[in-house]
Chains A and B, each alone.
Chain A
Amino acid sequence: MTAFLQNCFAGLSLGSTYALVALGFVVIYKSTGVINFAQGGLLALGAYLGYTFSNNLAVAFGVAVLLCCVSAALVGATFERIVLRRMVGQPPFAVIMITIGLLFVLEPLVTAIWGFEHKQVNNPWNIRTVEAGGLVFGVRDLWTIGLTAAVVLAFFLFFRYSSLGLAMRVTAFDPEAALAQGISARRVYATSWAIAAALAALAGILMAAGPGGLTPSIGFIALAAFPAMILGGMDSPAGAVLGGLVIGLAEALARGYQDELFSWAGDNVSVIVPYLLMILILLIRPYGLLGTKEVRRV
């Protein structure tokens, strides 16, 4: 039982990271209809900005986390303002290609500024642990779960009760009706990009604060978070969080019970579990667990 709970805790921590990244995907998709392939690049940029604040500028780690999220948000909003605004009304495919272009720009930009070396972010968590009920909890993992929960809560409150959140929901639901009501689509799009970039940066700095440290490949996790978004439903923020947690738990449990249950299927079943789950869910619910079913008039 202890091993099971320990694996569940690992899955929740991993799933929280996936949830943050997947939420970023969904925020942009929901408001603009575009899948942002640069999410991994924004995650890496945010993590390296956090490194600069924490190590080079010797800012307290908590402040560094805040500053890297704000900085990434500014980068996201600026990119939307300078590049994507010119693409309003263009086919989503063209905008998607631009996000792929942004990813290819961000990767060398990060290495040009910070180099390829393995870096360690100054942080108070590292490999510290606490014990409770016979279980060992990594402090970083606890913070990852806690911060994700707090961010998700704040996110839902923002969407439900703030005027900007309401504007984003209306724009996502019907852009033309939103415009008719005087809602600025530009402001909504810029806010979406800022939120997505901040979420990516938070995921990045939380990962970099772990024992693996920081390398340019940190953004690859966005690929693993992709099934979480699909599984939860591409236009559902709640689905992104649920998808992230489901994928994280499934991956950790498959890994934990690999030898007992899956040895017949090879050595790396946990790696394919997210994709198997994604295929399975899509077969049953093509719009994801909490996605909106598209209605077409014939």
Chain B
Amino acid sequence: MNGRRFRFGAALAATVLLAAACGGAGDEAGSGGGEAGAPASSAGFDGTTIRLGVLSPLSGPIAVIGQPLTEGNKVWFDHLNSQGGVAGKYKVELVQEDTQYQPDVTVQQYNKVKNDVVAFTQILGTAPTLAVLPLLKSDKMVAAPASLDAFWVREQNLLPVGAPYQIQAINAMDHYLGEGGGSPRSRICTMIQDDVYGEAGQQGIDFAAERMGFTVASTQKFKVGTENYSGQIGALAGAGCEMVFLTATPTDAGKIWGTAAQARFAPQWYAQSPSYVGALAQSAVAPYMRQYVTIASEGTEWGDDSVPGMRDMIERVEKYAPQQQPDYYFAFGYNQARAMTALLEKAVERGDLSREGILQASQELGTVSFDGLTGDYTYGPADKRNPPRSTTLFRVDPGKPFGLATLKYNFSSDAAQAFEFTKANP
């Protein structure tokens, strides 16, 4: 009898507490002005600490990208936590899992941690992101992809940052035709990796060709890890290419430029940001790159304290990760974390840090500024989103940190403004 009375009392107390908790959030949310009450505990949020997932290749060949990217995530959140955390009161904790850049492993790791986190602040790579996208949708989870593919823009469950690859290609062409000495009659060519990343670059060039009135004289495709590029370089030289737009990763780009230098083939090269890595500026190919290569990317050169975002980031790197070397991917991870913070702040403002609440907050998130580190991104409903259309062009300068010096900072062409983004599978 006593036991039954105790169980009844406990159930009543629990009901009252639950009602009080729900009412607190709901009442304050109803008070208007976007000032909701404290968010209720939910998966990945215990009332004081927000846990975010990081699915990144921390081992394997792509760890060279995953490690600095994750370090960028960490430095931002270390800084944020030192200020009190999200909305000044909720500390952030990262839950890292190694994906080895394998889509199947990414799915396993996602399932392993999805109930311990409110969202994923990093999923690295196009294929891994595509693999978990259906799960993100069914779980109502938000994730920030570490990839500049254009079709993330129209996915509500994704929180991309930066101008997509197509924009880099379009702005590069605008520069070549405007200030780079080219004209629509120039022999313009492309050399692209034979995958979805390469297709993104080619799509940008094809769009630019239509808008700017040039034709692509020759397109050379290659498989990642090709050992000898003499055939492709010979074909580009044979086609009389005066300008070549390159979509590659650094190891292949080094071989391509090395082969071009050996063949005395000297067009003007414009390359997509992932083609470059700081080590190339210290390699034997550097003199050739210095003369003929322009890198299309975003933000400013490492250490440029005239850009507020870079100045702040360098200060925080010195404080939280002094061993960190200048790295493009680090800055990308840092920006991803900033975007996720803006989203979480919006969710806290709405008084709901549950998955559904964060997904809803992503519909209401406005323009997020990155203080010049990358272009401002207008979020909101996926079909209304407007990613940055800006690009910074860099020339290779081995004397600079990361080997890049700004050639033209943060510009956007009319063609880039006109580019329409679509979903991966419309």
Residues of chain A touching chain B, judged by Cβ–Cβ distance below 8 Å, are 3, 6-7, 9-11, 13-14, 17, 108, 111, 115-120, 126-127, 129, 136, 138, 207, 210-213, 215-217, 220-221, 224, 251-259, 267-268, 270-271
**Residue of A7, A126, A207, A254 touching B234 (CB-CB under 8 A):** A7
Chain B contacts for A270, CB-based, 8 A: 231
A294 to chain B, nearest CB (A): 33
B59 interface contact, C-beta 8 A:
yes
- Which 8 residue pairs across A and B have the least CB separation, nearest first? A211-B258, A255-B231, A126-B284, A10-B230, A116-B64, A212-B255, A267-B221, A256-B231
B194 touches A267 (CB 8 A): yes
Interface locus among B16-24, B45-53, B103-111, B274-282: B274-282
Q: Closest residue of chain A to B253, judged by CB?
A: A212
Chain A contacts for B252, CB-based, 8 A: 212
Chain B contacts for A6, CB-based, 8 A: 230, 234, 263
**Residue of A7, A17, A117, A119 touching B230 (CB-CB under 8 A):** A7
A220 touches B285 (CB 8 A): no
B254 interface contact, C-beta 8 A:
yes
Q: Closest residue of chain B to A117, judged by CB?
A: B64
Query: Are A118 and B277 also in contact (CB < 8 A) when A3-B238, A7-B234 are?
Result: yes
B232 interface contact, C-beta 8 A:
yes
B63 interface contact, C-beta 8 A:
yes
B346 to chain A, nearest CB (A): 36
B225 interface contact, C-beta 8 A:
yes
Query: How many chain B residues have a CB neighbour from A under 8 Å?
Result: 43
Query: Are A268 and B235 also in contact (CB < 8 A) when A117-B279, A127-B261, A211-B261 are?
Result: no
Chain B contacts for A253, CB-based, 8 A: 231
B254 touches A213 (CB 8 A): yes
Considering the chains assembled together, what is the distance between the CA atoms of A295 and B147 in angstroms? 56
Chain A contacts for B255, CB-based, 8 A: 210-212
B240 to chain A, nearest CB (A): 13
B230 to chain A, nearest CB (A): 3
A255 touches B232 (CB 8 A): yes
Considering the chains assembled together, what is the distance between the CA atoms of A177 and B51 in angstroms? 68
A–B complex contacts, Cβ < 8 Å, 25 sampled:
A6-B234, A14-B227, A115-B64, A116-B61, A116-B64, A117-B64, A117-B279, A118-B280, A119-B279, A126-B283, A129-B262, A210-B258, A211-B257, A211-B258, A211-B284, A212-B258, A224-B227, A255-B232, A256-B234, A256-B235, A257-B231, A259-B218, A259-B235, A268-B221, A268-B222
Considering the chains assembled together, what is the distance between the CA atoms of A111 and B288 in angstroms? 29
Chain B contacts for A126, CB-based, 8 A: 258, 283-285
B251 interface contact, C-beta 8 A:
yes
Considering the chains assembled together, what is the distance between the CA atoms of A127 and B226 in angstroms? 17
A221 to chain B, nearest CB (A): 6
Q: 12 extra interchain contacts, Cβ-Cβ under 8 A, other than A211-B258, A252-B230, A268-B223?
A: A13-B228, A117-B64, A118-B277, A126-B283, A211-B259, A211-B261, A211-B262, A212-B255, A217-B225, A252-B228, A255-B228, A256-B230
Q: Closest residue of chain B to A253, judged by CB?
A: B231
Chain B contacts for A210, CB-based, 8 A: 255, 258
B4 interface contact, C-beta 8 A:
no
**Residue of B225, B232, B250 touching A118 (CB-CB under 8 A):** B250
B67 interface contact, C-beta 8 A:
yes
Query: Are A10 and B231 also in contact (CB < 8 A) when A118-B277, A259-B218 are?
Result: yes
B61 touches A215 (CB 8 A): yes
Considering the chains assembled together, what is the distance between the CA atoms of A132 and B230 in angstroms? 17
Chain A contacts for B194, CB-based, 8 A: 267-268
Q: Closest residue of chain B to A221, judged by CB?
A: B227
Chain A contacts for B238, CB-based, 8 A: 3
Most buried by B among A111, A127, A212: A212
B156 to chain A, nearest CB (A): 34
B256 to chain A, nearest CB (A): 8
B5 interface contact, C-beta 8 A:
no
Considering the chains assembled together, what is the distance between the CA atoms of A6 and B262 in angstroms? 12
B234 touches A220 (CB 8 A): no
B234 touches A212 (CB 8 A): no
Chain A contacts for B225, CB-based, 8 A: 217, 220-221
A108 touches B258 (CB 8 A): no
A260 to chain B, nearest CB (A): 9
B232 to chain A, nearest CB (A): 6
Considering the chains assembled together, what is the distance between the CA atoms of A211 and B126 in angstroms? 27
- Per-residue CB proximity of B35-74 to A under 8 Å, as 1/0? 0000000000000000000000001110110010000000
B185 interface contact, C-beta 8 A:
no
A178 to chain B, nearest CB (A): 38
Considering the chains assembled together, what is the distance between the CA atoms of A115 and B63 in angstroms? 9
Most buried by B among A10, A11, A224, A254: A10
Query: Are A213 and B283 also in contact (CB < 8 A) when A116-B63, A268-B221 are?
Result: yes
A252 touches B231 (CB 8 A): yes
B251 touches A215 (CB 8 A): yes
B264 interface contact, C-beta 8 A:
yes
**Residue of A120, A216, A217 touching B282 (CB-CB under 8 A):** A120
Q: Closest residue of chain B to A256, judged by CB?
A: B231
A212 touches B221 (CB 8 A): no
A216 touches B231 (CB 8 A): no
Query: Are A17 and B285 also in contact (CB < 8 A) when A127-B262, A212-B252 are?
Result: no
Chain A contacts for B280, CB-based, 8 A: 118
Q: Closest residue of chain A to B225, judged by CB?
A: A220
Q: Closest residue of chain A to B239, judged by CB?
A: A259
B228 touches A10 (CB 8 A): yes
A120 touches B227 (CB 8 A): no
Most buried by A among B63, B230, B264: B230
Considering the chains assembled together, what is the distance between the CA atoms of A9 and B257 in angstroms? 18
Q: Closest residue of chain B to A122, judged by CB?
A: B284
Most buried by B among A115, A255, A258: A255
Chain A contacts for B234, CB-based, 8 A: 3, 6-7, 256
**Residue of A3, A216, A252, A267 touching B61 (CB-CB under 8 A):** A216
A118 touches B227 (CB 8 A): no
A14 touches B228 (CB 8 A): yes
A227 to chain B, nearest CB (A): 14
Which residues of B, 191-249, contact A by the 8 Å Cβ criterion? 194, 218-223, 225-228, 230-232, 234-235, 238
